[in-house]
Amino acid sequence: MKKKKELLICAIAVLLFLSILFFFHMFCYKQGNWYLIDSSGNLVSKTGYEDCVGVIEIEGEMHFILTRKNRFSPESRFYRETMFVVNKNGEVILQDSTGENGNLNYENFHALFYKGKRVFLDSKGQIIFTVPDNVTLEECYSYRLGMMPFYYNDVANPKYGYMNIDGEVVIEPQFSYAELFSEEGLAAVRDDEGKWGYIDTEGNLVIPQVYDFTLGFDAGFALVEKEHDEYYIDITGRKVLDIDGGVNKEGFTYISNDEGKYACIDLKGNQITDYIFDRTILFKNGYACGCVNGLYGCIDKTGEFVIEPSFEYIGDFSDFGIALAKGKDGLYGYINIKASCMI
């Protein structure tokens, strides 16, 4: 009898030990599929993250916002998802288990969730503003020119205004919708009749609310629509280019012909390329990548090819002068503007 009792105790102890090991295994983070590499393609961190939700700049250095999850299902009380802010060397400088993630980088302010609250960090990663519960911030929690659209979510028929990083109301809620300010100091706002116009940073209506549709200013121009007529205006509201569609990026847009081919023009109406592109093209960081007869190349702002169409795909060039590319062999890597393979 005594021997059976000892065996039973040993069995219970083993089961308990295995249960603890299993729980520990489930509670620990999974090894995800996202890894950090340097510009030479070398692995800088052996940690595999679940997802990359964005990139922010802190004190002049790029940092990655990454997540990790444990093995429990999201419905379990033991489920844990943690956000990590990681520098280029793979070192974690900030982390928090939140279950919800986000980031933005405008004017050295970074917005993310921390302990269930939307907060803003300064360039050193310190919390400088926590968004009140009765405030809803628009435009993906972005700041431009020190202001962000917001509305009070605890009132009937809320109106939009603008708030600064200190949480102070700088333009009183009065619009049915409001968008971010552009670098030109203008923001598109909508009235109760659904008409759009533009205000300055003081809240003054400087371009009348007469448009059915607007986009924000970019390089001094904005696309608007009035009575089914689309055209570009300058910062004074003057019509400068009559064009059907086309998004303005860095002072250029695109037009198409009857054959479905696209060309690139500047906002003075000068055509800088022929109708050679299979799809629409947009400039970013001084270059536009486009598809010609199924192959991708890249032009500069004179319309000249700096990379001849020879890739199956080229993404936008980053601030660091590199772009994701897919070669004819079907493999992906990173190239510079001279089409040299970086990774």
Q: What are the backbone angles phi and psi of residue 170, rounded to the nearest 5°? A: -105, -25
Q: Mean pLDDT across the stretch 215-231?
A: 87
User: Residue 211: which residues within 8 A CB-CB, separation 6 or more?
Assistant: 195, 196, 197, 224, 225, 226
pLDDT band at 116 (very low <50, low <70, confident <90, very high): low
Instruction: Label residue 38 by pLDDT band (50, 70, 90).
Output: confident
- 18-22, 159-163, 265-269, 295-299 — which is least confidently predicted? 18-22
- Position 105 pLDDT exceeds 50: no
Rounded average pLDDT over 149-156: 87
Pairwise pLDDT comparison (109 vs 178), residue with the higher score: 178
Q: What is the CA radius of gyration of the chain?
A: 26
| pTM, rounded to two decimals | 0.61
Q: Are 298 and 314 in contact (CB under 8 A)?
A: yes
Whether 200 has a pLDDT exceeding 70, the answer reads yes
Task: Report the sign of the C-alpha dihedral through residues 132, 135, 137, 142, in that order.
Answer: negative
Q: In the 3-class helix/strand/coil scheme, how is the chain assigned residue by residue? A: CHHHHHHHHHHHHHHHHHHHHHHHHHHCECCCCECCECCCCCECCCCCECEEEEEEEECCEEEEEEEEEECCCCCCCCCCEEEEEECCCCCEEEEEECCCCCCCCECCEEEEEECCEEEEECCCCCEEEECCCCEEECHHHCCECCEEEEEECCCCCCCEEEECCCCCEEEEEEECEECCCCCCCCEEEECCCCCEEEECCCCCEEEEEEECEECCCECCEEEEEECCEEEEECCCCCEEEECCCCCCECCEEEEECCCCCEEEEECCCCECCCCCECCCCCEECCEEEEEECCEEEEECCCCCEEEEEEECEECCCCCCCEEEEECCCCCEEEEECCCCECC
The whole-chain average pLDDT of the chain stands at 79
Q: Is the pLDDT of residue 98 over 50?
A: no
The pLDDT score that the predictor gives to residue 15 is 77
pLDDT at 127: 66
CA dist 165 to 127, 150, 211, Å? 11, 12, 30
pLDDT at 56: 64
Q: How far is CA 177 from CA 132, 151, 194, in A?
A: 20, 9, 9
Q: What is the pLDDT of residues 39-75, one digit of tens each?
A: 677 888 888 888 776 666 666 677 777 888 887 777 7
Top-ranked range on mean pLDDT: pick from 92-101, 106-115, 192-201, 315-324: 192-201
At residue 115, the pLDDT reads 56
> What is the per-residue pLDDT for 205?
96
Residue type, 70: N
59: left (phi over 0), alpha (psi -120 to 50) or beta: left
Q: In Å, how far from its chain's centre is CA 181?
A: 16
Structure tokens at 161: 């205004």
Choose among 183, 173, 219, 217: nearest CA to 197.
Answer: 217
Q: How would residue 27 be classed by pLDDT, with cut points 50, 70 and 90?
A: low
Interval 292-319: pLDDT, tens: 999 999 999 999 999 999 999 988 887 7
The predicted pLDDT at position 90 comes to 84
Residue 62 sits at φ, ψ, to 5 deg, of -75, 135
Band the pLDDT of 171: cuts 50, 70, 90.
very high
Q: Which long-range contacts (CB under 8 A, 24 or more apart) does 265-269 make?
A: 267/219, 267/221, 267/232, 267/240, 267/241, 268/240, 268/241, 269/241
Of the chain, the percentage scoring pLDDT greater than 70 comes to 77
